Amino acid sequence: MNAPIVIVGAGQAGLKTAETLRSKGFDGDLVLFGDEHWLPYQRPPLSKAYLKGDLAEEQLYLRPEAYFDAHSIEFRMGARVLGLDVAAGKVSLGTGKELAYSRLVLATGTRARQIPLPGADLGGVFSLRGMDDIAPLRTALETAESIAIIGAGYVGMEFAAVAARMGKVVHVVEAQPRVLMRSVAPEMSEYFQSLHRQNGVEFHLGAGVAALEGRNGAVAAVKLAGGRALKADLVLVAVGAVPVTDLAEAAGLDVAAGIVVDEACRTSAPDVFATGDCCLFPSRRYGRQVRLESVQNAIDQSKVAAGAMLGEQVAYDPVPWFWSDQYDCKLQIAGLSEGHDRTQLEGDPASGSFSLSYFCGSRLLAVDAVNAPRQHMMARKELARQPEAEAA
């Protein structure tokens, strides 16, 4: 009997890989490992609709439990893969057993970035990355009065919007001089800073955190590097995510800012593939290696990985797209703006509906659209027509 295809990681990427293998006619054994005690679920709503209670738990699930039996996918929930032996073609499991594979897919995703702060182990200090984070965070949010968010990326800003709408006192502390600095231009940062300020959020930009101060084992304040203390009975640490590459590194696979793969999602080891947030792939479109954290990437790249495992000639080079919901504002991003040398504004930010295009010379790199879905879709089509970039 042939060894199964083994998929490590039961998030959007791992599940889509399994689904695609079956839809393309693969009828061999298929084993999907998920180290969480949940069915595969959507992550974007965690910091928005699900946190607010606007979305029921079952609505988060990507597939019902019955799906796995119906499609002969052996889903091992709450099961950890501890090691990878690429020479022997086996994985070692948390049970102490080993499992041989014919092909292996690493869809291990990301984990919340941690920062070494005195007081980080106090009660009331949270990160927000998975379902296990939500119940205690939601309970604490209901009773908290003053909230401090460390990090003004998308998760931090989305959480700030939820907390502000609940009438909480909200402080956002960011080491960079503006919000969303790694993602958007100054004009867009200013728009979102203004939006949050109108809803009562106070920003502390260009500010470092010296420590978290506690009282009776629970967080009570965030002490800034300049000495000021911000009262906080709930602290969310939202300083980004890092790819989960432990298995790949220990097995000797090529790892840089992610698990390195080629355009067909192959790693440096035979019969081992990687897909989703954890991997770094070559983009001819942008002339460099890229790692993406998005639903679009998890789905589309996993389809390519499945095709490659079945012998198809495939090449992954997408037009990336992302979104963020804050208050009644939807930001939709198409493309990657890194390396732009000018921007072009269309529409009036005061109207609440506008777009900002990013160019390098005459080449369109990306478009941010605020409450402008038509411009977003047009941008994706235009970006798809762009010629390949020169390699960096």
Strand partners, 242: 111
Fold agreement (114-239, 328-384):
no
Chain segment 160-194, per-residue pLDDT in tens:
999 999 999 999 999 999 999 999 999 999 999 99
Q: Could you please state the CATH topology (level 3) that the domain comprising 328-384 is classified under.
A: Enolase-like; domain 1 (3.30.390)
Residue holding tokens 């890092």?
A: 242
Residues in the chain: 392
* pLDDT mean across residues, the chain: 95
Instruction: Report the pLDDT value the prediction gives residue 390, as an integer from 0 to 100.
Output: 63
DSSP class per residue in 202-237 = EEEET--EEEEEEETTEEEEEEETTS-EEE-SEEEE
Provide the residue type at 130 as one letter: G
> Residue 389: pLDDT band by 50, 70, 90 thresholds?
confident
Architecture of domain 5-111+242-309: 3-Layer(bba) Sandwich (3.50)
> Residue 386: pLDDT band by 50, 70, 90 thresholds?
confident
Chain segment 285-315, per-residue pLDDT in tens:
999 999 999 999 999 999 999 999 999 999 9
| 356-384 b/e (C-beta count within 10 Å ≥ 16 → b) | bbbbeeeebbbbbbbbbeebbeebbeebe
Instruction: Report the pLDDT value the prediction gives residue 91, as an integer from 0 to 100.
Output: 98
Backbone dihedral angles phi then psi of residue 39, each to the nearest 5 degrees: -65, 155
Contacting residues for 382 by C-beta, under 8 A, at least 6 apart = 364, 367
Average pLDDT over residues 238-254: 97
Contacting residues for 40 by C-beta, under 8 A, at least 6 apart = 10, 11, 12, 14, 15, 34, 61, 62, 63
Chain segment 91-120, per-residue pLDDT in tens:
999 999 999 999 999 999 999 998 899 999
Chain segment 127-166, per-residue pLDDT in tens:
998 999 999 999 999 999 999 999 999 999 999 999 999 9
Q: In this model, does residue 380 exceed pLDDT 70? A: yes
**CA neighbours within 13 Å on the CB side: how many for 64?**
2
> Residue 391: pLDDT band by 50, 70, 90 thresholds?
low
Instruction: Report the pLDDT value the prediction gives residue 133, as an integer from 0 to 100.
Output: 92
Contacting residues for 221 by C-beta, under 8 A, at least 6 apart = 212, 213, 229, 230, 231, 232
CA separation for the pair 109, 29 (Å, rounded):
23
DSSP at 61:
B
Average pLDDT over residues 229-237: 97
Q: In this model, does residue 224 exceed pLDDT 60? A: yes
Q: What is the CATH number of domain 114-239?
A: 3.50.50.60
Q: In this model, does residue 267 exceed pLDDT 90? A: yes
| Greatest Cα pair distance in the chain | 66
CA separation for the pair 287, 387 (Å, rounded):
11
3-state secondary structure of 316: coil
Average pLDDT over residues 266-284: 97
Instruction: Report the pLDDT value the prediction gives residue 388, as an integer from 0 to 100.
Output: 77
Angstrom CA distances, 120 to 74, 124, 235, stand at 38, 9, 9
Average pLDDT over residues 64-68: 97
Instruction: Report the pLDDT value the prediction gives residue 327, as an integer from 0 to 100.
Output: 95
3-state secondary structure of 220: strand
Q: Is the dihedral of CA 325, 158, 290, 20 positive or negative?
A: negative
Chain segment 1-10, per-residue pLDDT in tens:
589 999 999 9
Chain segment 194-218, per-residue pLDDT in tens:
999 999 999 999 999 999 999 999 9
Q: In this model, does residue 322 exceed pLDDT 90? A: yes
pTM: 0.94
DSSP at 137:
H
Taking the domains of the chain in order of start, what are their residue ranges?
5-111+242-309, 114-239, 328-384
Instruction: Report the pLDDT value the prediction gives residue 52, as an integer from 0 to 100.
Output: 85
